[in-house]
Structure 1
Amino acid sequence: MPIIDNRQHNVLSSSVDERVRALSVVQKLLSRPDFGAMAAVLLVFGFFATIAGDSGMFAADGVLNWTTVSAQLAVLAIGACLLMIAGEFDLSIGSMIGFAGMVIAIPALYWGWPLWASIMLAFATAMSLGALIGYIVIRTGLPSFIVSLAFLFILRGLTIALSILFTDKTIVSGVNKVAENDWLAPLFGGEFGQSLFVWLANIGVIDSYAEGEPIVTGIPMIVGWSILLVMLGSAVLHYTRFGNWIFATGGDQQAAQNMGVPTAKVKILLFVLTAFCATVYATCQVVEFGSAAADRGVLKEFEAIIAVVIGGTLLTGGYGSVIGALFGALIFGVVQIGLFFSGISSDWFRVFVGLMLLIAVLFNNFIRRRIIR
């Protein structure tokens, strides 16, 4: 009977274990919804650092530019991500932006309302409409794609018609005047971190103007909203019962119902969330720019969905990541501003978006087949 050298056996077992362990790490990375988006972010940053690194894109004001653009889309993408994980779509969020903006501007400028009351009216109206969309989807069994597409046109038409009816124009300006002494306006149109940037300018980390004022005075509130929504969305999705309900609803609705998951309630609440996110976006724009426009938010619903898909959420539901949606929005912002800094025509932006969407869908299909196996 052959004698087995235990030391040799242990060495062989150890080497086999290492290979298995390494494979397990790779499998875990590939199974993460946001893995593809993380890799894409690194590639995009590397590309623009190479071709636009000396143009100011990564200086303080350049960073603020693409961060703000990314944050704006991220606010919309968070709500869209959670809804898509639950297996539904909301194509009305772009029109909801223009609609909510007019609901804020018209009462404040033409009816004598305080701005804070107009903002609250916009949130209440938009979220009620979101609940109505969800209720129609649940009660009729129609695809949410069709129902929300109908509301895309309804809300855009209402926005134009009501703005002309009450103001005889489609762009309403002057909100900045009523926002000056309003207690709620700074929560959407102000900045935070001013003292930090003053200190950074004083020690020479960032540039400042001749009179000593830092070139970046603070971080826009839309960035703060995006960070808050990402943190809350990720925490709810991964650490709460409601998050489990979202995954279960999108994964297999019938099985979830059999286990007692209130799938109808989950979906309606998530439609309310997408309307809330659209109103946050609209309010930040109205307060920051001092105006509302009937055409504001055009195509934003598709950009949000594309960012979510790039972030790893499956179109079939049941699988996705809020962090991935944030990465998807970040890719949008970096590419959009990076093309400007690199001198490349902005016409190529849509080409890039289409390619990224196609690559993301193919990659997500691959992940879905692995999950099924």
Structure 2
Amino acid sequence: MRRLQALLLGIVAIILLLTGGAWFLNQSDGAKGSKIINMYNWGDYIDPKLITKFEKQTGYKINYETFDSNEAMLTKIKQGGTSYDLAVPSDYMIQKMKKAHLLKPLDQSKLPNLKYISKDFLDQPFDRHNRYSVPYFWGTLGVVYNDKYYQASDVNSWNKLWNPKFKGQIMFVDGAREFMGIGLASLGYSLNSKNDAQLNQAYNKLKSLTFNAKAIVSDEIKMYMENEESKVAVTYSGEASEMLSENSHLHYVVPNGGTNLWFDNIVIPKTSKNTKGAYAFINFMLDPKNAAQNAEYIGYATPNKKALAYLPKSITNDRQFYPSQKQMAQMEVYEDLGQKYIEKYNDLYLELKMYRR
């Protein structure tokens, strides 16, 4: 009997030991998981040294994944396969994600370094009062030209792109809002126009501009301009910065009369499982020295006003990438136009791409 009791007690002890071990392992895994931050960002859009620095300072581990378009990012977050703690969408996409209830409202009391962001880049139409997002980088849409063939005065207005001397020479970034925006801006209309007459007028004017196009592409613009296989291109300031660093004959101009002012902001998706870590990382990136380091590495303009003091004057005084207040007053941020007008812009754009053929 005593042997049986001892055997039963032994079995119970083993069960308790196994159960306790399993509980401990689960707790350990949970603790480990709470130190992982899943970040979803554009490719090569952060200085890797800053990730290492953050991990050493905080003990968190960044699991970094990349996307190549706002639409791809939106689709994956909607699917919910991965619980991303941080993402970096562009302005209009933030507005779309808000409408779809995919974002967590921000507790700004957990972001004391938000005070370093210039007021010029806060409270934008796509996210009033920055309830859901924090500015990361910003820039413009403009024209890159090679000074061996042209000068700034040749491209300092959108209307000048219609000059017959550019026949078959201009590379355009592939985008409906961008190409239609050139036509709208050249006529003095809003880049967010929902006026059918204005859109049709822009469409008809852009027909003749297609004959000046060398190609309508995406990443290929950098290679063509750097290798001087193309002389002029319409692209974003961030892309232009990379081109200029590779070829001293290239320059970037923001045309007079208005252009797109774009933002990439950091958000916390609603499915985030490590919101505490997300806040820690955002606040870390808002530190002026870290923001300056990131801006110098990436080459895009920082919205962090205090960070400017840590950047070389050659960068902050460069009006190509840090335009004046007067220039910025003419710029517009893309807004979510709604399904009807997004489709209209896309349809007109596709017709223009076909028209050239």
TM-score tier by shorter-chain length is under 0.3
Which one scores higher on RCO, CA 8 angstroms, separation ≥ 6? 1
Please, what TM-score do these two structures have when normalized by structure 2?
Answer: 0.28
Structure number with greater Rg is 2
Answer 1 or 2: which has greater strand percent.
2
Please, what TM-score do these two structures have when normalized by structure 1?
Answer: 0.27
